[in-house]
Amino acid sequence: MWTLRPRSPHGLQSHNYTRDESKEVSDAAVVDQVLAYWAQHSVPWLPGVAPTELDAFEASFNVELPPDLRLFYTVTNGTEVPSTRGQDHQAYDFVPLQMVAPDPEINWAWTLVDYRESSWWYSIDLLGMSRYGINAMYLLGAVHDRPLLVARSFSEFLQLYVEENIRLRIDGAEIYDAQMRRTRP
């Protein structure tokens, strides 16, 4: 789990995001948490896709899906259910595999989650071309001219989502991204 700890050596308001390693959970457990979260909030979701569909996706785009993302799509194909807006109670829309494609402006960024009908979106690096490599998750769109790192993996993103963590909002993403840039130039 992630915790938000105030840190203010000079009396300034800042935040330090730290990871409690003792609470690590498996990718399967994280996906189960997402499904339980959706059930709790009456969010309809699509059944997963066959492994052959994942293989075809990888072959058609010449990418390899990280194991946590493959697992997610074998269990659920997102929240884009016909006859619904596809959004959960907070306006997150997990897009089906068939709609996942590279961003037209940032070719390594593949959108997996849309927020408030494209107010901003969350994308994964499937090519290893971003600052933090394959499987890193970024917030794109909104008012920024560059992607903001929100998670080092898709599983971590899912945990933040279920926790309704501030890091998935613009202000939290800005703080986390700035902290990560300072620790990894």
**Tokens read off for 48:** 């997963």
SS3 112: strand
Domain of 151, CATH number, reads 3.40.1580.10
> For the chain, what is the domain count?
1
In a domain, 10, yes or no: no
Domain-embedded: residue 13: no
* In-domain check, residue 45: yes
The reply to whether 8 falls in a domain is no
On the 0-12 / 13-18 / 19+ scale of CB atoms within 10 A, 35 is middle
pLDDT 10s digits, 45-72: 999 999 999 999 999 999 999 999 999 9
**What angle separates helix 154-162 from helix 67-75, to the nearest 10 degrees?**
50
Domain assignment of residue 110, yes or no: yes
86 is a domain residue = yes
Residue 173 lies in a domain: yes
Domain ranges, residue 95? 26-183
| Model pTM above 0.85 | no
pLDDT in tens, 70-94: 999 999 999 876 555 666 667 688 8
Inside any domain, residue 64: yes
